[in-house]
Structure 1
Amino acid sequence: MESTVEKLEAMFLKSEADLEYIEKRLKLDFINSTTESRSSSEVNPALMLEKLKAIKAKHSSLSSEVKEILAAQKHSMDFITNNINSAMALIHHCQRTTDVEIDPLTVSEQEFAAVLSSVSSQTKAETPELPERRSQDVT
């Protein structure tokens, strides 16, 4: 999940650099064409540059949205993991304090627990810590 977001972010950065190159190239071509022909061309490069600036602004906003989505995904995953771990700890505590025997986990439950722990450790290893949200934000 995070590697896909990182790839998408890298693609946005590359496209932003490409847009800057195109903008500079268009300005240079416009300067060269006006000095050679001494007349206005059919296509207005200034208008094209304005459209290009609008595209760059949209690109920047999309890039920031991707970062916000990544942070929200990490927060959600941490919240879910913490709640499941708390529930499992409570179940184990209840099992130890009472004499009730609970059947061992099924194969699918064991697989889920393994996936959950691997995703949790992978998430913590790959992303920097975000500031904790207040408990009222989580509702």
Structure 2
Amino acid sequence: MPDGQPPVYDPNTRRAPAHLITPHAGTYGSAAGTGASGPGFKYDRATLEQLKTDWNDMANDFQDDLIYATALQRAQGPGLEYASGNNADMINTSGNALHDTLMARKEYCRSMAAKYEAALGKYAAAEDTHTTEIKQTGGSL
């Protein structure tokens, strides 16, 4: 950091990627005439891969932020008087809350990435099945 100053948190520099907060084009539920039922979203392979990457990137950001929570959890008062100790206790409590929140958010992001990974697996399996069916009928891709 310049001049040995600690970093200053700027909430405007940490934004979720636009496609995570902006609705995507696509379909919800089953496509008409497919005979499939049940709710869900349909994305292409590239979108699924990008979403998985973005969720993992956010989880990594939360993991990186745990360093700051740890610093708060270990804060000590500047002096031996009551006020310093009490202030440090309050900072430690805030650090614990921040740590728990960051862990929960990181785990949520990882679980979302895992869902997109699973969807990619289903996508690949369906693609393989359709390729086999086309080859059996004498067609080509």
Relative to the length of structure 1, the TM-score reads: 0.51
Which residue of the partner structure matches residue 138 of structure 2? 92
Say whether 1:4 aligns with 2:48.
Answer: no
Q: Which amino acid aligns with 2:66?
A: L
Highest RCO, 1 vs 2 (Cα 8 Å, sep ≥ 6): 1
Which residue of the partner structure matches residue 115 of structure 2? 69
Which residue of the partner structure matches residue 22 of structure 2? none
Structure 1 stretches of at least 4 aligned residues deviating more than 4 Å after TM superposition: none
Whose radius of gyration is greater, 1 or 2?
Answer: 1
Structure having the higher helix fraction is: 1
Which residue of the partner structure matches residue 101 of structure 1? none
Instruction: Note if contact 1:9-1:63 (Cα within 8 Å) is conserved in structure 2.
Output: yes
% identity of equivalent residues:
9
Say whether 1:19 aligns with 2:66.
Answer: yes
Q: Which amino acid aligns with 1:45?
A: I
Structure 1 residues 72 and 10: CA distance shift in structure 2, 3 A? same
Which residue of the partner structure matches residue 103 of structure 1? none
Structure 1 residues 42 and 17: CA distance shift in structure 2, 3 A? closer
Q: Which amino acid aligns with 1:84?
A: H
Distance 1:52 1:72 in 2: 30
Which residue of the partner structure matches residue 102 of structure 1? none
Which residue of the partner structure matches residue 95 of structure 2? 49
Say whether 1:31 aligns with 2:80.
Answer: no
Question: RMSD between aligned alpha carbons?
Answer: 3.1
Q: Which amino acid aligns with 1:31?
A: Q
Equivalent residues, number:
92
Relative to the length of structure 2, the TM-score reads: 0.50
Instruction: Note if contact 1:27-1:45 (Cα within 8 Å) is conserved in structure 2.
Output: yes
Instruction: Note if contact 1:16-1:59 (Cα within 8 Å) is conserved in structure 2.
Output: no
Instruction: Note if contact 1:12-1:63 (Cα within 8 Å) is conserved in structure 2.
Output: yes
Instruction: Note if contact 1:16-1:56 (Cα within 8 Å) is conserved in structure 2.
Output: yes
Structure 2: give runs of 5+ residues left out of the alignment: 1-46
